[in-house]
A and B are shown apart, each in its own frame.
Chain A
């Protein structure tokens, strides 16, 4: 248990559906992240929020929409996804201070787009 909780653990959705992934951390961290992990590819950073402000958006398609209402919660809203969006979506958090902070990850949401 790392202190980062993601729900749901598994999600199957059609291309016309709208769904949301949720992430919650109770570690007192000030930064939260969404990563995408596809088979046989390195982790891809999607979004970063620092003190609720989005500081990174790595050219992610607009069908992915993040939301960070407070420093403990992070959402990823999904709509009109494509089959190639099927992947493990990992949330992480950290306490940003000196640059060597480790990330604490959730267990991820395994997303399948049909």
Chain B
């Protein structure tokens, strides 16, 4: 079974609209962390936002927010007021466990987001 599932391989969104990118995860650990990264066509992965499993509030970073629904094991990324520069691949990733020597991030397959002018 996949640990990180991103069900939307691609999305087209009109500029200035809000976007929700889906991510569901599977883990039996009580402590884990969830990450979202953006990969533009230039290739580098850019960190967007982090949510810890014990965080009671949804994480926010500027126009990015994470809709964390623990019981449903979902961690959707919400981008408000989308911009043309938001066009990119978006990846959801998870780190399991409390051991800070666990360097493994488990990655989803990504969602390609295209913002239309």
Binding site for B on A (CB under 8 A): 2, 4, 31, 33, 40-43, 45, 48, 50, 55-56, 88, 90, 92, 96-100, 102-108, 110
Contact = CB atoms under 8 A, between A and B. Distances in A.
B103 A2 contact: no
Contact of A43 (B42, B52, B98, B107): B107
Contacts of A97: 100
A107 B97 CA distance: 29
B103 A31 contact: yes
10 contacts: A2-B46, A33-B103, A42-B110, A45-B105, A50-B101, A55-B103, A100-B95, A102-B50, A103-B37, A105-B46
User: Interface extent on B, as a size class?
Assistant: 20 to 34
B57 interface: no
Contacts of A50: 101, 103
Contact of B91 (A43, A96, A107): A43
A99 B47 contact: no
Contacts of A42: 4, 91, 106-110
B105 A103 contact: yes
A108 B44 contact: yes
Nearest to A96: B100
B47 A103 contact: yes
Given A88-B43, A99-B98, A107-B42, A48 B103 contact: yes
Contact of A96 (B98, B103, B104): B103
A2 B91 contact: no
